[in-house]
Amino acid sequence: MPKWHVSIEMHQDPKFDEAIVHLVAEHQAPLRGFVAAMMLGSPDVDDVVQEVNQLAWRRRDEFELNTNFKAWILTMAKFTVMSAWRDQRRRKETLMPEELLVKLMDEGAEAPESTATPRHEALQECLNKLRPVDRALILKRYFEDYRVKQLAAEVGRSSDSLKMSLHRIRNVLATCVKRRLSLRGETS
């Protein structure tokens, strides 16, 4: 019997499909939390969660019951988020492009503290609010000019993983800076 027949039969198993529906429903909170954390400030979080749910349903025959469903669905979420990031970059919708962050940090490092702009002050406050590990990554990457590969090797992570973390941290900073400027009545 050809392999695709087995796949079709699995799709027709109502107990299997019911188990998948239950698992998807049970894992919505961790899925949404993961996507929201990876896409801070993006209006596309709900769309990405829905896309992951649809993907999980279409690929349900690849999942084996009684294995780690959370890891399976979050792996799909990771690649869906990375695809969404690429789409945002193509549409130029990132909250704080890397170039702007580098420019702000360069200007902030050169300017005496008394002449810092409101945006630089907000960035400094937001940097101070980051988790120490995230602040260290940002400072090493942009102030100490570490290359991504060099920094990834130093912290024991892959370059892709580090790039995703830096993207997430930049978005956290962008949201924080925007909020602080808004509270002060400044424009971003």
What CATH code would you report for 98-184? 1.10.10.10
Domains of the chain by residue range:
3-90, 98-184
Q: Is the pLDDT confidence value at 8 over 90?
A: no
Given this chain, do its domains 3-90 and 98-184 carry the same CATH topology?
Answer: no
pTM: 0.47
Cβ–Cβ under 8 Å, residues 36 and 168: no
The pLDDT of residue 63 is 92
Residue with tokens 């810092």: 116
Instruction: Give the pLDDT mean for 53-59.
Output: 93
How far apart CA 98 and CA 15 sit, in angstroms, is: 48
Beta-carbon contacts of residue 177 (< 8 Å; ≥ 6 apart): 96, 119, 122, 123, 126, 188
Question: How high is the pLDDT of residue 25?
Answer: 92
Is residue 118 pLDDT above 50, yes or no?
yes
Q: Which CATH architecture does the domain made up of 3-90 adopt?
A: Orthogonal Bundle (1.10)
Q: Which of 4-8, 52-56, 78-82 has the lowest mean pLDDT?
A: 4-8
Identify the weakest region by mean pLDDT among 49-63, 69-83, 138-152: 138-152
